[in-house]
Structure formats: C-alpha cells, structure tokens
Amino acid sequence: MKLPERTVERLSAYRRTLLQCLTSGKTHIYSHELAQLHHNTAVQVRRDIMFIGYSSMQRKGYDVKELIAVIGDILDSEEGQNVAVIGIGNLGRAVTTYFMGKRSKLNIIAAFDVDPNKTDRVISGVKCYPLNRLDEIVKEQNIVIAILTVPADAANDMTEKLVVSGIKGILTLQPCH
C-alpha cells in the first residue's frame, strides 16, 4: 500500500503517542484524544486510521495495542530496518540501551564515533566503528536509519555525511534542523 508522505508522518507520530499511552497503562483511546495530542482534528485522525483499514469500537475508542500493531504492519518493513547510532557518548549509549529489544523491526547493528578509545569495541551491545568507515559499513550492513547523538555543532556536517553514505532516515536528538 502506497500512503501519502504526510499520512505516514502522522501515523508514525500516532504510534509514538500510542506507545506512551500503552506504557502508562491506557488500553483505549478516542480519535479526539489523539487529535488533541497532535494538534489536528478528530476527522483527520479517523481518516488516517481508516486509510490503513482499522476501525474502532465506537464506545471504547481504538484499542491501543491493536492500533500500534496495525500501524507497525503498514509502516515497518517485513524484515526490519538496520540502524546505526552516530556518536556513542552518554546519550548514544542511553539511546542504544533503550532501543535494544523494544522495537523488533529496528535493529541497532552499528555505532560510529570519532573517539579512538571507543572504536573497535562493543559498547552497549553494539560494535563501534571509526567514522571514516561510515560509507563502507552502511553499505555492507544495509543500514538505512541513523540516530544522531553528536554535539549540536557537529550535527549538520554529520547529517550531510549520512545522506551521502546512503542513509534514508535520520533521527536527531539535537535542537537543530
């Protein structure tokens, strides 16, 4: 199924919210609740969710667990996606540790850093490579997503390198575009 890019963005955002709801013990959510959390309309939420073929029980709202699974079936590739963490300092290690085992379709398989004391080691369960091997490892390991945890002043340059290396999606944890 080919979805419009904006719908994919909204579904991804809904899933993040639904995962938070699930963690807090919420089992059902109404379209107007999701809409309020995402600053859009309940009609837009219902359209997006109907677009992927899911409907709710009118009186209880959407089943949070089921909706997460349906969105995952639509957005996630069958075999999963390989992910690299760029910058394996405190934030990079925390992100790696957090993601391990939480999302079965996202496989953190590599980390990159400029610090020679971190490279060629396994940190938080992931092999850390020197940054000069980025292009090689991205292609070799079929890495399509990068989680950027480098300092803010290095984020823009690093983003350019990631795009050139073939990375398709970048999650940055820095306050920059």
The enclosing domain of 18 has a CATH number of: 1.10.10.10
37-87 residue pLDDT tens: 999 999 999 999 998 888 876 688 999 999 998 998 888 767 778 999 999
Q: How far apart are CA 36 and CA 32, in angstroms?
A: 6
How many residues belong to the chain? Answer: 177
Task: State how far the Cα of 129 lies from the Cα of 118, in Å rounded to an integer.
Answer: 8
pLDDT in tens, 138-156: 999 999 999 999 988 888 8
Q: What CATH number is given to the structural domain containing 116?
A: 3.40.50.720
Whole-angstrom distance, CA of residue 115 vs CA of residue 161: 17
Report whether pLDDT(18) > 80. yes
Q: For residue 113, report the phi and psi dihedrals to the nearest 5 degrees.
A: -155, 160
Domain count for the chain, please give it.
Answer: 2
Residue 177 lies in a domain: no
Of 22, 44, 75, the last residue of a domain is: 75
| Amino acid (1-letter code) at residue 29 | I
Strand partners for 111: 85, 128
Identify each DSSP E strand in the chain by its residue range. 28-29, 62-63, 81-86, 106-113, 121-123, 126-130, 143-148, 169-172
Range of the domain at 132: 81-172
Q: Is 71 in the same domain as 85? A: no
| Domain stops at, among 75, 106, 131 | 75
- Global confidence as pTM: 0.65
Look at 14-18, 143-147, 170-174 and tell me which has the smallest mean pLDDT: 170-174
Conformational region of residue 25, where left means phi above 0, alpha means psi within -120 to 50, and beta covers everything else: left
Alpha-carbon torsion (168, 52, 103, 63), positive or negative: positive
**Residue 175's pLDDT band (cuts 50, 70, 90):** low
